[in-house]
Structure 1
Amino acid sequence: MIRFNLRCDNGHHFFSWFASNETFERLQSADRIECTVCGVKKVEKALMAPAVSGAREKPDESAVEKTPGIEAEIARRIAAYRRHVEENSDYVGMNFVAEARAMHQGEAPERPIYGEARIAEAKALVSEGIPVAPLPFVPKAQPN
């Protein structure tokens, strides 16, 4: 997996993970990547610094304390993201892997979906070139 720093046409910066550069380019050319802030589909790679490990320093654990309200802001943004996902996607539950594969193979109509998968299953989807990403929340229980 490769982490790319991305920038949309409106100047928003965000990052996402891809199986390879080729996967990123294929998804980008198909307008399948969109800004996590505004939803614009014109996205390009931003300048990235290589991840180089150096001397390990203990992280400053008081960073959160130095930024008052950051936990509330993070919770607010995750809640807004959750609402966006739930309003604009179909919950497929434990059928996520099968449904994602069927859409990728053209056996089911493409649409935004979310659901549940084991880590090994998600890794298998990525290795098959099927774009998936973990959500920063647990889906609410859905009625049967």
Structure 2
Amino acid sequence: MIKYKLICKDCETTFDSWFSSSKEYEKLKKKKFLNCYFCNSLNVCKGLMSPSVSISKNNLRDIDSSGEKYREIKKIIYKYQKFIQKNFEYVGENFAYEARSLYYKDKKKAKGIYGTATKKDLNELKEEGIKAEILPWIKNTTN
């Protein structure tokens, strides 16, 4: 068995898939049996892959998510999130619609917006000249 990282050239979604061999991948690609799970496009190709390397238990200590650097980065992200929540209007899943509305109709609206959007939506907004950025968002789960 071999695992490939696949990329949809239409919506830029990346995903992994297993094949019995590299020949099997080529066979399925040629017969157009490979498609993007997100947008159903047949425009899928192999992406850059690195070999699978096992990590010893000693190396795992270096990847400590409760470490000081992790807490520091998390703190900075929370600070930005508070700023965004205070100064921007949350529009939820209607982000793409609201961004277009602001861009084409309501340019004088005082408050910016934030919400969720798909990669496809973000690509379409970019093509239309509408600026939108992906920001890291962490749920505050302090117990």
Report the TM-score when normalising by structure 1. 0.48
Structure 1 or 2, whichever has the larger Rg, is 2
